[in-house]
Amino acid sequence: MNATTTTSTRPRLPTKLLLLAAALIAAVGFLVWTGTQGATVYYHTVGEVRGMGSEAYYRLIRVNGIVADGSIQSATDSNLISFDLQDDSGRLPVEYRGTPPDLFGYSSEDRYQEVIVEGQLEPSGAFRARSLIVKHGPEFEPREIPAQ
Amino acid sequence: MVRLGQRNVLRGLSLALAPGERLAVVGPNGAGKTTLIRALAGLIRPRRGHVSLRGSRGPDEPAARAGLGFLGHRPSLYPHLSARENLAFAARLHGTTDAARIEAALEVVGLAADANRLVRDYSRGMQQRLGLALALLPEPDVVLLDEPDASLDAAGVDDLPVMIDALAPRAAVLFSTHDERVAEALGARVVRLAAGRLTEDPREAPAPKPPPLQALPLPRPPGFARAVRAMIAKDARVEWRAREQVPTLLMFTLLAAVVFDMAFIAALGSEVAAVAVGVLWISVLLAATLAGTRLFTTEFERGTLDGLLVAPVDPSGIYLAKFALLAIETAFVGVAQLIFLSLLLNVSLFQASTIGAVLLAAAAISAILALQSSLVVNARAREMLMPLLAIPPAVPVLLAGVGITLGALEVTPAGQQGAWFGLLAVVAVVFLTLGTVLYPQAARA
Amino acid sequence: MRQAQTTELPRPRRLAALREPANAVLYAALLLSMGLALFMAFVFAPAERVQAEIYRLLFVHVPSAWLAFAAFGVVAVGSVMFLVRGKSRWDRLAHASAEIGVLFTTLCLVTGSIWGRSVWGVWWQWDPRLTTTLIMWFIYVSYLALRSYIDDPNARQRMSSVVGIVGVVSVPIVWFSVEWWRSLHPTPSVTNPGGGMPPEMLTTLLVSVAAFTVFYVVLLRQRMQLELAVAELGSLRERLYERNEESA
């Protein structure tokens, strides 16, 4: 045995690092794959909810879609709002009781409004939303100053 | 240079030991003797400088520790194992199963008559004798002993040379002591250590020139899988004797199920299945965290972690053995909770898919917790820290487990189970790999 | 006697780094870039068509997210380098960067929540980006907690390096969460061809990112120098202790 003071020893870990890299790559691949598998989704599409049939009834789910043009109706004597949620695969009538977000119902000629509703589908076919969330995309535009 | 905390304990120190030579490091308390021996055994990484065994490799390499006998300032003994079982475990870690040598070692240290008694019933002196047997057991060619005469009676001190001559006659022996008579009795060259610096004893002849360093053949190290199996079997036996974890955890899960049933029964309508799933996974996570905190802590507090780290096994084996132990315990508790909840809440939780989910989730959670547990051994208030460390990375496991069990109870549409099982498997594989790679980095201070 | 010994102690040379001219340059750069970023965010950048003024949170939210990712990347680099080289300054780098990363992640979560309340109508949703960001925040909070619970510096450095390496796995997951999974949180506006913003907003965003980067560097240097001062104090104590011991 021999102990001397020289430079420090350095641990080595080559094969193990390859192992680690392989595991991480596999993990990332898997996460991307599950992202397309529908098991982990944050929201469903209108078509998916329609496809679930009676399975979807009385289950807390989130549905994403576009507010159909001109479909928003608000009751005058209560805070009930109803509108149609629409995407490529169909329409879903939604009822929401409460104060909507400020940006809900913001209309413009070239832009449709995307929302997520969280609630339950009833056998009548209406979706009773307990929360209404306005989705906003990654696009930003300057506000045009109206000409005086 | 070896630095502990803010202090440099050892400085500018050079030592060489020839094969068969005996060297006593003599110094007062606090001189750095223990630190020196721990650095030589590879338990502490020197800031600067290096240690080489047999002229070739450092003690941080598992293969180089194959012929290393070590007795720390506290013998590395499991109180719930007998002397013979302690020796048999150490022998397996060193890759031998030579029963005759174990008997010979017991005979030489004078414990043959008490070989089947549990070590917790041993006196301090008997433990020291057993510790010596442990250090000399693997036919070492290098022996490091930290105060071998500690807690030995006069007869024991007299026996020391006999023990070493009988069990490791050709080994290079380095030991520390504060009693020079012990050094004389062993016929050792004496060096003095004071405040971290070395002084040769002027009364002694000048140190023999160390022979030119040559790489000596190494004893064959044990198979990795065999060592891991030995560690799992040891932990299982300790748990069987001590019953520190499994019965308490079972009671904990039963209590969780009972209390939730009792408190929620009035409120439970159609949500009974959802509550059952919540109770299942929270109690699995908490049970695993409780047991996980103790994985490395127990070894650390009993002083036996040193014994595992000095064995010629890659430290990743220690991580894997602890992972396996925790996975078994967690799976056991989880399956028990499936039964408790099925009976108490009258839900059909005991199914193939939920059992599969519990087993795989137990593996994933244990892979995370075994690594975290190894990180908190030196921490204050570990049991406070562990949940904070363990729960964030365990979130995917919890999500997947809840996803599978909710599907099995038809709270949510089934048919997405495959992806959730895949997620559990991915977490288990990623953390097992991280633990295998990183634990050896954390193992040595 | 004792007095004489204390004054004999060598001056801590490394502490002189605190008065480096580089610091003055950095402070000047920070003041200028932050001032410019504030001006551009509130005056130069136009109001947004749909969101009006609240979108200006973008100029804090996005830079703090990016810098948090960068900071945690630096934690991983420092941790790996510490385990490989064993030099304390790598650990100081990791520690300082983790603290700043947690600060920026907190800033990102808070501004995001306020923005979300205004645009989405909710303070919080368990959307993949928000969920993974929160987990990442917890992981690095636990990294800092672990450090504060271990007294022995050697053990603290080694153990926290392991957490620093494990934790960085969360960064790409947070980053790609909006690409991999359906989410409420929008995809990136700058790098995504689907998104976009007018040049005034983009320029302002880039200036904010630059200002935040300078801010990160300033904080990192300050924090590392503070840690160095603590270490220096420790070794001065050590030398004092040894002197007293030798003279005793």
Q: Classify residue A109: in a domain, yes or no.
A: yes
Neighbours of chain A (3+ CB pairs under 8 A): B, C
- Global pTM? 0.87
Q: Are residues B151 and B228 in the same domain?
A: no
Cβ proximity of B250 and B336 under 8 Å: yes
Quick check: B214 pLDDT over 80? no
Q: Are residues B65 and B106 in the same domain?
A: yes
Q: Classify residue B207: in a domain, yes or no.
A: no
* Distance, CA of A119 to CA of A82 (rounded, Å): 14
Query: Is there a contact between C200 and A101 if contact means CB atoms under 8 Å apart?
Result: no
Q: Are residues B60 and B170 in the same domain?
A: yes
Q: Classify residue A111: in a domain, yes or no.
A: yes
Residues 182-211 of B with CB under 8 A from C: 195
Query: Is there a contact between B389 and C166 if contact means CB atoms under 8 Å apart?
Result: no
Q: What pLDDT shows up at residue A125? A: 85
Q: Are residues B126 and B269 in the same domain?
A: no
Chain C contact for B398 (CB, 8 A cutoff)? no
Kindly identify which residue of chain B lies nearest to residue A3, measuring between CA atoms.
B51
Chain C environment of B441 (Cβ under 8 Å): 83, 158, 161-162
Q: What pLDDT shows up at residue A36? A: 54
Structure-block tokens of residue B146? 């930290």
Chain C environment of A132 (Cβ under 8 Å): 121
Kindly identify which residue of chain A lies nearest to residue C178, measuring between CA atoms.
A35
Q: What pLDDT shows up at residue B82? A: 95
Å between A41 CA and nearest CA of chain B: 11
* Distance, CA of B374 to CA of B296 (rounded, Å): 6
Strand order in the sheet with B15-16: B15-16, A2-4, B50-52
Q: Across the strands, what pairs with C76?
A: none
Quick check: C108 pLDDT over 90? yes
Minimal Cβ distance to B437: which of A6, A20, A38: A20
C-alpha B174, offset from chain centre? 24
Domain range for A63 is 44-134
What's the mean pLDDT in B187-191? 84
| 3-state SS assignment for residue B170 | coil
Q: What pLDDT shows up at residue B272? A: 83
Chain B environment of A40 (Cβ under 8 Å): 399, 403, 419, 423
Query: Is there a contact between C158 and B442 if contact means CB atoms under 8 Å apart?
Result: yes
Q: Classify residue A92: in a domain, yes or no.
A: yes
**Helix (H) or strand (E) segment spanning residue A141:** none
Q: What pLDDT shows up at residue B216? A: 53
Q: What pLDDT shows up at residue A3? A: 40
Q: Across the strands, what pairs with A116?
A: A64, A133
Q: What is the mean pLDDT of chain B?
A: 86
Kindly identify which residue of chain C lies nearest to residue A37, measuring between CA atoms.
C181
Q: Classify residue B309: in a domain, yes or no.
A: yes
Select, from the ranges B37-41, B64-68, B366-370, the one with the highest average predicted confidence (pLDDT): B366-370
Amino acid at B334: G
Chain A environment of C200 (Cβ under 8 Å): 142
Q: Are residues B195 and B235 in the same domain?
A: no
Scan for tokens 């006196």, then name that residue: B123
Q: What pLDDT shows up at residue B51? A: 81
Quick check: C13 pLDDT over 80? no
Q: Residue B177's closest CA among B139, B151, B140, B142?
A: B151
Q: Classify residue B57: in a domain, yes or no.
A: yes
Q: Mark which of B162, B184, B200 sits at the end of a domain.
A: B200
C-alpha B384, offset from chain centre? 22
Q: Classify residue B219: in a domain, yes or no.
A: no
What's the mean pLDDT in B364-382? 93
- Mutation target to probe the A interface, by most A beta carbons within 10 A, among C82, C84, C181, C204 is C181
> Which of A27-41, B352-366, C66-80, C127-141 is predicted least confidently?
A27-41
Q: What pLDDT shows up at residue C64? A: 97
In this predicted model, what pLDDT tens digit does every residue of C131-181 receive, in sequence order? 999 999 999 999 999 999 998 888 999 999 999 999 999 999 999 988 888
Chain A contact for B402 (CB, 8 A cutoff)? no
Q: Classify residue A110: in a domain, yes or no.
A: yes
* Distance, CA of B362 to CA of B354 (rounded, Å): 12
DSSP B30-87: TSSHHHHHHHHTTSS--SS-EEEBTTTB-TTSGGGGTTEEEE-SS----TTSBHHHHH
Chain A contact for B110 (CB, 8 A cutoff)? no
In this predicted model, what pLDDT tens digit does every residue of B406-437 receive, in sequence order? 888 877 766 678 888 988 998 999 999 999 98
Q: Are residues B193 and B331 in the same domain?
A: no
* Distance, CA of C79 to CA of A52 (rounded, Å): 48
Neighbours of chain B (3+ CB pairs under 8 A): A, C
SS (H, E, C) B278-343: HHHHHHHHHHHHHHHHHHHHHHHHHCCHHHHHHCCCCCHHHHHHHHHHHHHHHHHHHHHHHHHHHH
* Distance, CA of C31 to CA of C43 (rounded, Å): 18
In this predicted model, what pLDDT tens digit does every residue of B126-138 receive, in sequence order? 999 999 999 999 8
Q: Are residues B184 and B268 in the same domain?
A: no
Higher pLDDT, A112 or C72: C72
Q: What pLDDT shows up at residue A148? A: 46
What's the mean pLDDT in C40-55? 89
Tell me how many domains chain B contains.
Answer: 2
Domain range for B438 is 224-443
Q: Classify residue A14: in a domain, yes or no.
A: no
Q: Classify residue A8: in a domain, yes or no.
A: no
What's the mean pLDDT in B325-342? 95
Chain B contact for A124 (CB, 8 A cutoff)? no
Q: Classify residue B216: in a domain, yes or no.
A: no
CA end-to-end distance (rounded Å), chain C: 12
Q: Show the low-confidence residues of chain A (pLDDT under 50).
A: 1-12, 148
Quick check: B4 pLDDT over 60? no
- Provide the 8-state DSSP code for A55: G
Residue B31 pLDDT class (50, 70, 90 cuts): confident
Q: Are residues B194 and B243 in the same domain?
A: no
| 3-state SS assignment for residue C243 | helix
What's the mean pLDDT in B228-238? 92
Q: Classify residue A62: in a domain, yes or no.
A: yes
Quick check: B207 pLDDT over 80? no
Residue B55 pLDDT class (50, 70, 90 cuts): low
Quick check: C6 pLDDT over 60? no
Quick check: C15 pLDDT over 80? no
Q: What pLDDT shows up at residue A21? A: 78
Provide the 10 A C-beta neighbour count for residue B441.
Answer: 21
Q: How many CB pairs under 8 A join A and C?
A: 108
Chain C contact for B45 (CB, 8 A cutoff)? yes
The CATH number covering residue B30 comes to 3.40.50.300
